[in-house]
Structure 1
Amino acid sequence: MVLLFLHFYVYCYGAFIAWRLTYPIVEKVLITLIRTGLFTHFYTSKLSALGLLLVSLIGYRGRKDENLKLFRALCLLSVGLVMYGCSAWLLLLPSPVTVLAGLYMAVTILGYLLVLNGGALLSRLLRQRLAGDIFNRLQETFPQEERLLENEFSINLPARYNLKGKIRRSWINIINPFRGILVAGTPGSGKSYFVIRHIITQHIQKGFSMFIYDFKFDDLSIIAYNTFLKYKHLYPVEPKFYIINFDDLSLSHRCNPLYPDSMTDITDATESSRTIMLGLNREWIRKTGDFFVESPINFVTSIIWFLRKYKDGKYCTLPHVIELMQINYDQLFPVLRASLDPAIDVLVNPFLTAYVNGAMEQLEGQIASAKITMARLASPQLYWVLSGNDFTLDINNPQEPKIVCMGNNPQKVQVYGAVLSLYISRMIKLVNRKGQQKSSLVFDEFPTIYFNSIDGLIATARSNRVSTCLGVQDFSQLRKDYGREQAEVIANIVGNILSGQVVGDTAKTLSERFGRIMQDRESLSINASDTSISKSKQLEAAIPASRISNLSSGEFVGAVADDPQQKIDQKVFHNEIINDHAALKAEQDNYKLVPKVGDVAKVEIDDNYLRIKEEIIGLVDSEMERIYDTPELAHLLVSKEE
């Protein structure tokens, strides 16, 4: 301020003479200061005074006020600087020197005071770094894997993520798909479009044999077929493409899930029986071990194993099993026992005892539930598909690799799902063996089918190079259809998990699985005399449940598993998967439709249906005749007590 006063004294000296405000002592001081160069130019001393003001403001610390706005401080500062710098133009006006000097000093001092006020307000502003991030998004960001890690089995999905406000490119590297893949997300979250379709295309490109459970046929089947056409030449042995579809038989091959050569002992029959019965009666899953659950399963097991042993499995198909179950007990029990197989005799004996003793109420409770349930499958279309042998279920046979798509219908899921469950159960038995080709199993909407040993498959199939991908909407869906214990095992045993938007307990479970990160925290304390801000760091959820519940379509969270050969430090991710939408649409527009297997006339389907019924009637008649004609078998004939 002294320097600014001396500036006025020098450059408005005429006015000071007129006002009689000149002092010899001031002039002596000025003569000394002139040697420093401060007054060699008009703006030198003026800017020096302003510079000293700004230096003083840097050291000024006013009491913080949360109500002060940056705009107000900047306006005062800007207006003050303009007035302070441009006031010299007033000295050029045609007016008396005393008037111009007074006006110049008044405007300059006012500008100086405005700069002082604006600068002081800037120091009092309360700057909270996190105040604009009301949902704490920036604090919940963390570094993610940005390297592309590939191998002969990997699935690599390009993505982008937010790191402290900066968008960075990343990769979701599933380098070991054999440790299991779980894809979760509510309808519309992008499970199929952003994840499952890439698993299918990349694995076919890398020479995997494949099974696809296509819940909404032919959404995934058409992708698999066109990818197969594009890359089939890369396989050591070119694979065959097969489809199972119960709605349009012209698009379906025929396959017998109870193919006799694949059933080596009675445990195969037991597993098949359990799969089909629990698939048709989902509420039985939570009652496993109950008398009225195990009895129908044992009954169906005896039927399957009898047909497997009869004439080397000539009639070992599910349609023949359904028809044989409908035979009267007076004929059925002797026929089953006539095989003289001890395993069948053990299974049939409890039913036979109940029948002989006249315990019909108990017997019907044991068997009727199986007969009524299996009768749902008695349709010509199902019989046609289930009684043929166009291909076998050893999809990863190195000499005959296959890509098999099995389609369901959401409107008939209860019936079709049970049959497809049987196919899957028998297929897994053949796939999970050593020395086979690498294979990929993709289950879209997995809870709509029942597979009892899925946890065992994931746990043991890694060494046999079997990749398993399960698509679910929510863990609660698994709990409803598989029971709480089985659902928890499935959710916990998978090594790779990718989740779109999910809510409730599923979101909480995933949030806990992803762990915590160190986040900054600020607290504000305001009182009458002072304002203070304290900062700290603490561990908080890396991806909170609320964040998972509000993910956009295509935005995924998850964690991947690594290998000893390819370590991944940043396994957890929260990013948006990048799809080239235009390229995918162009590719889909050029897709070829899934080819027809052949036209099937209704008369062929009906003839096949009647033929199976006649074969069972003929089997029973011939066996009963053999029993009557063989005295050693006469004891097998039964009659119930009245």
Structure 2
Amino acid sequence: MIGSPYSSKEELKKNAEMMLYLNVLVFLVLSIAVYHKTIKVDLWSDLIEMLKFERINNFYILILFIVMFAFSYFSYQPSKTIKKENKSILLFTAGLSFCLFLLVNLIYLKQNYFSYGLYVTTYLVALLNAVNSKSRVTDHIKDDRKEEFERSFYQDREKIDTDMSINIPYKYKYEGKERISYINICAPNRGILVGGIAGSGKTFAVIEEVQKQMTSKGFTGLVYDFKFPTLTKIQYNYYLWYKDTFAVEPNFYFVNFDDPAYSHRINPINEDLLKSETDAAESAKTIMNNLNKEWIKKEGDFWVDSAITYCSMAIWFLKLMNKKYNVNVCSLPHVIALSSFESTDMLFDMFLEYEELKSFLKPFQDAIAKGAMQQIAGQMGSAAIALTKLASKELFYVLTDDDFKLDLNNPLSPKILCVGNNPERQEVYKAPIALLSTKVLKTLNQQNKLKSMVIVDEFPTINIMGINTAINTGRSNLMCVLLGFQNVSQIYAGYEKDTADDIMKSCGTRVMGQMMDEDAEKMSKAMGKQKVVRENLSINSTEVSSSLNISMEDVVPAERFSQFQQGTVAGFFADTFDAKDPNKIFYGEVIADMEVKKNQEKHDLPMINDFTPEDFDEKLKFIYDNFFEEIQSLTDFIKTENIKSINVILNQNVTVREFENYLVNRYNLNFDKFQEAAYYIKPRFILEEFFNKNLKGFKKDEKKKAQFLNSKIADPEVFVKNSIESNLILNNKNERLEEHYQQIFNEIYNIVAMEFKTNNLIDKYKGNNQKLKLYKTTLTDVRGKGKINNEMIKNIYNELLEKIDEFTPAPRGLG
């Protein structure tokens, strides 16, 4: 095509090839002329003589050859590609050959066939290798399949260390070189979202680092530990490291519903925290939304609102009872016990006596007007059924007293609180945890208090009322909220859509690890685009051509988010007026301080409540005196069998009863007496605990595990004695928890009795025989089952029953 740039390009290429060939030809001709005395050709010698060639200095001929060499090197472009290592070889060979060629010209001046051969060979080898070394290297095309080089961007930042900042070091690559930079979160009070699927490293690399740095800079506040005691133990060690840096040394508290021995006690709805009916309503909604996940999406539903309102009314009623009778019954366990009282009619009649509760009665007005107590019972029953999920002895014990106040950021009494959950029991625990967290947020979000942290990893597992408000309004009160999650769909499943939207849009800092599908696309879009210069190569059998293309591409494409390695994060951070950063985007691998990681679990959590019985020594002596044969049999069993065979026997006798029968039969023991002894010894339990404790350390070392299984339990007598002592404490703990559990219900029975007496409810309904009959049945049932342990209250129940008998007509006799 005439005038086409492609035709001119082809012409240039052909001309460069012709000049290369001409260069070789001229060199060969002149080389013979230089060595004409050696290469004797009659015709050629005559021509040299005629041209007076000997008068030309060889130095000028060398200059000519160098110019010809340079011209061919810079003008000629090979058509084929080569590997990177071959390019290096060609350049080395060309350089070495050219140096030899110069030496032959300047030093070795002898005229012989050897020097001539060396003269020609070195030049031609140098020329051909030099021009071929210009072939395009295409190895990098496969080396950078993901365009990491083209898409890399400059992220160097100095560490900006302030009294509020979180500075997370990370490494990244730019222009093929690894560099170190910092994620400078100078405004953590503008909210932090930390995301990543399970195993992406968000907790290990990011959240634990935030905990450490915030603790070191004097932050008080709340840490939610989804897998207690993982983060709690780490936070406790940080507390021990940095507690002396606070102006006033803080206290450390932790709440754990699995084991009250390792938990402080706290009542999140004590009367001091219930300032108004609104607080009761908020508490009730938090409890109910966490007990019934689907209720979050059903706000405005008649039955849902009725259940929440009933729970609110029960909470406020118990606050009134606190003041009226000078008792301590305003707690979640008391609400649960109240809602499970045998008669909803009696409860409702008590509620109707108080003007303060009238504001809660709106959902029940139609039923009250119609006298439809069955409908009211149904409305109240929805709440009662949900609340009974929380009826556990451990939970009742932890939530009915106060070891501390929730003003965690009080300058005169700073505190750090960790609240633990258990993935296996999260459906039960998340309601009280959410309730406690909601109360903490309100106390933290106040003026003239210390800076505080709210770190909630796996936050979609609990529904915290007002968490979005805390992010938006807590900034001025130096409250820093960090929320960790695995995927965005969890957030929308655990919160109302408007709340979830607000959370996602309000956090100024996002640190995201490996993410999938829609989450990766959303995050990629949020990080924006950058200008990318891309080289396009076209390779065929005759030539290699390239072109540059400039386009706006995603900083971190969605598909790359899904391929992140553990510890790799990307995102953006919020800055401040004092520490502005025009490039708030980051993408790299967090540098974890492994020395810190080795020591952050060094100290174990302390025991809070000691359940050791006062008569411990007497009880231990009683066990050995009465069950020595049974204890000796278990000791002999442990002495005889190695750990592997014990495990086999346990697997063959899978239940507690089966294993106990095995021991009875093996050692010819008395069955009834062994059953009595098993309460103190717990043979299967102590062996399973031994396996659970010791096998954790051999997960990745099969050799050590095999050695362990082939060994025997050391000092069987000591092992059994220690186990019996532990069981003695465990039994005493269970007895005390059971006693406390029953006491909660007993206090509610007392309140009901006192209310019916002081408010004269029997007199009020003396003409309603149906209602009186219900009262009598309920009161008789409560009294008859031995649920009351107070003689004064029993007497009140008897008085109420006698009064009912007075107002109830006797059945007509026959005749």
How high is the TM-score relative to the length of structure 2?
0.70
Q: Give the match's secondary structure for 2:588.
A: strand
Structure 1 residue 489: deviation in Å? 2.1
Residue identity matched to 2:56: L
1:151 is matched with 162
More RCO (CA 8 Å, sep 6+):
1
Deviations 1:392-431 (A, max 9, x none): 2111112211111111111000101111001111111211
Q: Is the 8 A contact 1:77 1:119 kept in 2?
A: yes
2:573 is matched with 560
Q: Is the 8 A contact 2:164 2:186 kept in 1?
A: yes
Deviations 1:87-123 (A, max 9, x none): 99999xxxxx99x63x765675465445444444444
Q: Give the match's secondary structure for 2:75.
A: coil
State how many pairs are aligned. 621
1:623 is matched with 755
Q: Give the match's secondary structure for 1:598.
A: coil
Structure 1 residue 322: deviation in Å? 1.0
Whole-Å separation in 2 of the counterparts to 1:150 and 1:570: 17
Q: Give the match's secondary structure for 1:151.
A: coil
Whole-Å separation in 1 of the counterparts to 2:322 and 2:84: 92
Q: What are the within-5 Å matches in structure 2 for residues 411-430 of structure 1? A: 411-430=424-443
Structure 1 residue 83: deviation in Å? 7.2
Whole-Å separation in 2 of the counterparts to 1:90 and 1:62: 29
Q: Is the 8 A contact 1:256 1:387 kept in 2?
A: yes
Deviations 1:350-371 (A, max 9, x none): 4364267464664454222211
Question: Are residues 1:468 and 2:600 paired?
Answer: no
Matched-pair identity in %? 33
Structure 1 residue 631: deviation in Å? 6.8
Whole-Å separation in 2 of the counterparts to 1:613 and 1:467: 40
Aligned partner of 2:590 among 573, 577, 585:
577
Q: Is the 8 A contact 1:280 1:415 kept in 2?
A: yes
2:53 is matched with 30
Q: Give the match's secondary structure for 2:67.
A: helix
Aligned partner of 1:241 among 238, 252, 256:
252
Whole-Å separation in 2 of the counterparts to 1:640 and 1:293: 30
Aligned partner of 1:329 among 344, 350, 353:
344
Q: Is the 8 A contact 1:145 1:571 kept in 2?
A: no
1:52 is matched with 67
Q: Is the 8 A contact 1:74 1:118 kept in 2?
A: no
Residue identity matched to 1:628: N
Aligned partner of 1:316 among 305, 313, 330:
330
Whole-Å separation in 2 of the counterparts to 1:540 and 1:638: 78
Q: Is the 8 A contact 1:210 1:440 kept in 2?
A: yes
Residue identity matched to 1:321: V
Q: Is the 8 A contact 2:200 2:567 kept in 1?
A: yes
Q: Give the match's secondary structure for 1:21.
A: helix
Deviations 1:283-341 (A, max 9, x none): 11111221121110011011111111224273211111111112312211111121232
Whole-Å separation in 2 of the counterparts to 1:72 and 1:407: 62
Q: Is the 8 A contact 1:155 1:202 kept in 2?
A: yes
Question: Are residues 1:225 and 2:246 paired?
Answer: no
2:403 is matched with 390
Residue identity matched to 1:166: K
Aligned partner of 2:355 among 340, 352, 370:
340
Structure 1 residue 137: deviation in Å? 0.6
Whole-Å separation in 2 of the counterparts to 1:357 and 1:481: 38
Could you say if the C-alpha distance between residues 581 and 479 of structure 1 is closer, same or farther in structure 2, counting changes exceeding 3 Å?
Answer: same
Deviations 1:532-584 (A, max 9, x none): 42212111001111111111111111110001111112211001111232443
1:42 is matched with none
Residue identity matched to 1:614: N
Whole-Å separation in 2 of the counterparts to 1:242 and 1:368: 36
Q: Is the 8 A contact 2:315 2:330 kept in 1?
A: yes
Deviations 1:418-473 (A, max 9, x none): 11001111111211111111111111211111113111110000011111111111
Whole-Å separation in 2 of the counterparts to 1:148 and 1:449: 35
Whole-Å separation in 2 of the counterparts to 1:592 and 1:530: 68
Whole-Å separation in 1 of the counterparts to 2:547 and 2:487: 41
Residue identity matched to 2:330: C
Q: Give the match's secondary structure for 1:149.
A: coil
Which of the pair is proportionally richer in helix?
2
Aligned partner of 1:369 among 360, 382, 387:
382
Whole-Å separation in 1 of the counterparts to 2:43 and 2:558: 79
Structure 1 residue 261: deviation in Å? 0.9
Whole-Å separation in 2 of the counterparts to 1:202 and 1:220: 14
2:17 is matched with none
2:224 is matched with 213
Structure 1 residue 632: deviation in Å? 7.8
**Bigger mean CA offset, 227-236 vs 78-87:** 78-87
Could you say if the C-alpha distance between residues 402 and 80 of structure 1 is closer, same or farther in structure 2, counting changes exceeding 3 Å?
Answer: closer
Whole-Å separation in 2 of the counterparts to 1:4 and 1:112: 10
Could you say if the C-alpha distance between residues 14 and 263 of structure 1 is closer, same or farther in structure 2, counting changes exceeding 3 Å?
Answer: closer
Q: Give the match's secondary structure for 2:167.
A: strand
Q: Is the 8 A contact 1:130 1:136 kept in 2?
A: no
2:35 is matched with 11
Aligned partner of 1:165 among 176, 194, 213:
176
Deviations 1:225-261 (A, max 9, x none): 1221222122222211111111111111111010101
Q: What are the within-5 Å matches in structure 2 for residues 115-514 of structure 1? A: 115-123=126-134, 125=136, 132-312=143-323, 314-327=328-341, 328-341=343-356, 344-348=357-361, 350-351=363-364, 353-354=366-367, 357=370, 359=372, 362-514=375-527
Q: Is the 8 A contact 2:220 2:408 kept in 1?
A: yes
Whole-Å separation in 1 of the counterparts to 2:760 and 2:102: 131
Structure 1 residue 131: deviation in Å? 6.0
Q: Mind listing any 5+ residue stretches in structure 2 that lack a counterpart?
A: 1-24, 612-732, 775-815
Deviations 1:468-505 (A, max 9, x none): 11111111211222244432321221011111111111
How high is the TM-score relative to the length of structure 1?
0.88
Q: Is the 8 A contact 2:78 2:131 kept in 1?
A: no
Residue identity matched to 1:318: L
Structure 1 residue 129: deviation in Å? 7.0
Q: Is the 8 A contact 1:213 1:405 kept in 2?
A: yes
Q: Give the match's secondary structure for 2:390.
A: coil
Q: Give the match's secondary structure for 1:59.
A: helix
Deviations 1:100-155 (A, max 9, x none): 63x76567546544544444444453769756422101112111142110111111
Whole-Å separation in 2 of the counterparts to 1:289 and 1:349: 13
Q: Mind listing any 5+ residue stretches in structure 1 that lack a counterpart?
A: 40-44, 92-96
Whole-Å separation in 2 of the counterparts to 1:384 and 1:391: 15
Whole-Å separation in 2 of the counterparts to 1:363 and 1:73: 89
Deviations 1:23-71 (A, max 9, x none): 266565424422xx627xxxxx5x5454233212233244644x55566
Whole-Å separation in 2 of the counterparts to 1:80 and 1:607: 94
Whole-Å separation in 2 of the counterparts to 1:383 and 1:444: 25
Could you say if the C-alpha distance between residues 629 and 372 of structure 1 is closer, same or farther in structure 2, counting changes exceeding 3 Å?
Answer: closer
Deviations 1:573-601 (A, max 9, x none): 0011112324431x246x21111112133
For the aligned residue pairs, the C-alpha RMSD in angstroms reads 3.2
Residue identity matched to 1:168: R
Q: Give the match's secondary structure for 1:442.
A: strand
Question: Are residues 1:550 and 2:563 paired?
Answer: yes
Whole-Å separation in 2 of the counterparts to 1:232 and 1:70: 58
2:734 is matched with 602
Q: Is the 8 A contact 1:334 1:636 kept in 2?
A: no
2:623 is matched with none
Whole-Å separation in 2 of the counterparts to 1:33 and 1:451: 97
